[in-house]
Chain A
Amino acid sequence: MKTLLMSANYAAARAIVSARVEVVAAYPITPATTVPEQIALLDEEGIYKGEFIRVESEHSAMFACIGASSTGARAFTATSSNGLLLMDEALHWAAAARLPIVLANINRSVSPPWNIHVTHDDSMSKRDTGWIQFYVASVDEFYHTIIQAFKVAEDERVLMPVMVSADGFVLSHTVSTFDYLEPEEVDEFLPPYKPPHWVMNPDNPVSHGNIVFPEYYQEFRYQMHEASKNALKVYEEVERDYKRLFGKYFGGPIDQYRCDDAEVVFTSQGTVGAEAIDAIDELRDEGYKVGAARVRMYRPFPVEPMRALASKVKAFASFDRGVSYGFGGHVANDIRAALYHSPYRPIVKSYIGGLGGRDVTVDDIKEIILDTVKAVESGEMGPEETWHDLLE
């Protein structure tokens, strides 16, 4: 392990070297572009040993990954926003084909109006494709979560593709140190991918994806659902191994900070969760019993860890950097849904903000948390949804 200084996107490119990825197919889009740019350089300089297909669209990028993974290769791509949306058909295909592809998504707002800065709508709108989803908050976490993602994806109990999302610009272009692992160091953790069930090989011909009638189709989908849910337990094992081998741990599916005796817990995804740590420290200094929970794993939704957390708190201030139009914050509503079938009934207040890359500062987070603290203290729940920092 050695310390390197790089942007998150460059670190992601390094992760595919460490993970001995065999095929990358990618297409440029801001702000993900510097991932394939850096992979191209690593490819041309012989540092990346696999194949790099410079495709003509994101749709083709994911289908090239599907072709490669179906032929037994470890495959990777990176994209953002409209690129991820163009892949939609391919994302469903990859998951339904049970191919352990890893995708680095650099969260970017969906157009129109054009906006290249962070909103989580791109990946959140893909939550029903079957892809396992992670959201990260630092360069180091991005790099290592990509390596971990292959381990989760390729686990026979999972065999589902994994998307690791990082906030556009706020993280993707932020330069920071991270702990780089040489491929030789990763080998023990991540042995070569060996498809356990089927692979394209003329020596043993199989048809993959041919027609299934109503009498069997549902069972394929049930297996996908079970496999996705398995990823929660598998990820806990993966993190345990990773910690043992490399001393790295990022907090599990829900990274909790000062939650043990907290009455109000601020939940968020991505870099806001890192910012929240300072907000919590300041509020603790001011005497408030508050904590922060960063939802790192969004699909499968960490239902049991969320219930365990809910059992201890009076309220959640749930912050979404995206919106399901007509219903509200993606994660806030998932938290509410996860708790409905449980005995725990903390207040779940939903806050939407930071869209289009609008800055979310420590003061913003404190304001949101204090709004929820007020609801707890007054016994008045107040609005179930608040758009934070909304211009009149």
Chain B
Amino acid sequence: MVAIREMPLKEFVLKGNAACAGCMDTLALRHALKALEGKVIQVVPACCTSVIQSLWPKSGLGVPILNTAFMAAAATASGVRAALKAKGREDVQVMVWAGDGGTFDIGIQALSGAFERRTDFLYVCYNNQVYSNTGTQRSGATPLYAQTTTTWYGKTEPEKMLDLVVAAHEPAYQATANAAYPRDLYEKFKRASEIHGPKFIHVLIPCPQAWNYPVELGVEIGKLAVETGYWILWERIGDKFKLSPQSKRFQDPAKRKPIEEFLKLQGRFSRLFKPKKDEKKIAELQAYVQHRWDVLMRTFT
């Protein structure tokens, strides 16, 4: 595992960016761009990063950013890659940096098309499980019972298991990451940068605004997502699947913290605890944790 001191000192997420206090997207992007050493053209559809990169005429990121329409990130990246190829430039990564709405929902067609065409690019979905940039509406990534501004009393369906959809495209590289584990995230981006073909990294991003927790708790909540077994860190090089060590230790359900510890810190799940604790719904979410493990291990091992 890479030590923090071994990461490049050069920063690509610059001062003066327009991120919220406690933004975990910015934290993930910081380490991702260090891993890519800035040799990247970053395609950004409508999402929080459209704002975070700063307002014209300033730029808060030290890499070229091509903003594009909500559903068009992977298509735009296909064009960037084709242009680089036409110009004989092979030393540049093309990276989509898209939110969960732009990936799970409106952008999934373009994503599927670009992967089927075996486009040489890295698609990153930074997932805070909600349309947070438009004010916290439910997305296909919003978990069961999470309150949003379009599910005021809690969402009635669990999230889409997007990783399985992506896996069906047989990407050259696929991984999950979590902004609270920057060393693991850094290594996965490094690995992706050395592999040719369509690559997908799915990063969990706790969001103080949308998840409604104190801004200083982002890393703690991100870690709880892994320690409760809710978010599973793994990677797949071709069809070689590997649980990342941070999650491997929670493969045994007995070692996991109860899901309640992850839920209770977040205002979006407040109705599970107030006015009185809803044991049945919490148990459903607890069961979903194991369900995801079962589906993942059944599919990939």
Contacts and interface: CB of A to CB of B under 8 A. Distances in A.
Interface residues of A, number: 42
A64 B72 CA distance: 8
Nearest to B76: A67
Interface in A54-103: 54-57, 59-61, 63-73, 75, 89-90, 93
Given A67-B43, A71-B80, A210 B75 contact: no
A274 interface: no
Interface in B36-82: 38-41, 43, 50-51, 53-56, 59, 61-69, 71-72, 74-82
Interface stretch (B112-120, B134-142, B278-286): B112-120
A259 interface: no
B63 A205 contact: yes
Contacts of A216: 56
Tell me the interface secondary structure of chain B in the complex: mixed
Contact of B66 (A25, A53, A90, A208): A208
12 contacts: A22-B82, A23-B82, A60-B75, A64-B79, A66-B68, A71-B41, A71-B84, A75-B83, A90-B69, A201-B41, A212-B55, A213-B55
Contact of A53 (B56, B79, B87): B79
A204 B41 CA distance: 11
Given A66-B76, A67-B83, A207-B61, 4 more contacts: A53-B79, A63-B68, A201-B64, A210-B67
Interface string B18-46: 00000000000000000000111101000
Nearest to B63: A205
Interface of B: 38-41, 43, 50-51, 53-56, 59, 61-69, 71-72, 74-87, 92, 109-110, 112-113, 116-117
B87 A72 contact: yes
Contacts, number: 164
Nearest to A25: B79
Given A63-B110, A93-B69, A202-B63, A211 B75 contact: no
A51 interface: yes
B38 A66 contact: no
A210 B74 CA distance: 18
A70 B69 CA distance: 14
A63 B79 contact: yes
B68 A210 contact: no
Contacts of B113: 55-57, 60
A53 B117 contact: yes
A202 B89 CA distance: 11
B82 A64 contact: yes
Most A CB atoms within 10 A — which of B38, B50, B86, B109?
A: B86
Given A56-B110, A57-B113, A93-B68, A72 B78 contact: no
Contacts of B67: 207-210
A346 interface: no
What does DSSP make chain A's interface, helix, strand, loop or mixed?
mixed
Given A209-B67, A210-B56, A55 B83 contact: no
Contacts of A70: 66, 76, 79-80, 83
Given A23-B83, A54-B117, A71-B83, A202 B68 contact: no
Contacts of B65: 205-208, 210
A208 B53 CA distance: 10
Nearest to B41: A200
Given A73-B86, A202-B63, A205-B62, A211 B51 contact: yes
B55 A23 contact: no
A168 B101 CA distance: 38
A340 B143 CA distance: 60
A64 B62 contact: no
Given A67-B66, A68-B83, A212 B56 contact: yes
A54 B82 CA distance: 11
Residue with the greatest number of chain A CB neighbours at <10 A, chosen from B56, B65, B109? B56
A183 interface: no
Contacts of A328: none
Contacts of B83: 22-23, 51, 67-73, 75
Nearest to A51: B82
A285 B254 CA distance: 98
A162 to B, nearest CB: 18
B75 A67 contact: yes
B79 A207 contact: no
A206 B60 CA distance: 10
B17 to A, nearest CB: 11
Between B62, B64, B74, B92, the greatest number of chain A beta carbons within 10 A of the residue's beta carbon is seen for: B64
Nearest to B84: A71
A64 B113 CA distance: 11
Contacts of B51: 211
A93 B69 CA distance: 8
Contacts of B43: 67
B57 to A, nearest CB: 8
Contact of B86 (A22, A89, A93, A204): A22
A53 B82 contact: yes
Contact of B79 (A56, A71, A201): A71
Nearest to A22: B86
B85 to A, nearest CB: 6
Given A22-B83, A60-B113, A211 B41 contact: no
B110 A202 contact: no
B78 A25 contact: yes
Contacts of B66: 67, 70, 200, 208-209
B69 A75 contact: no
A63 B84 CA distance: 15
Contacts of A205: 38, 59, 61-65
Given A68-B82, A93-B69, A200-B64, A55 B75 contact: yes
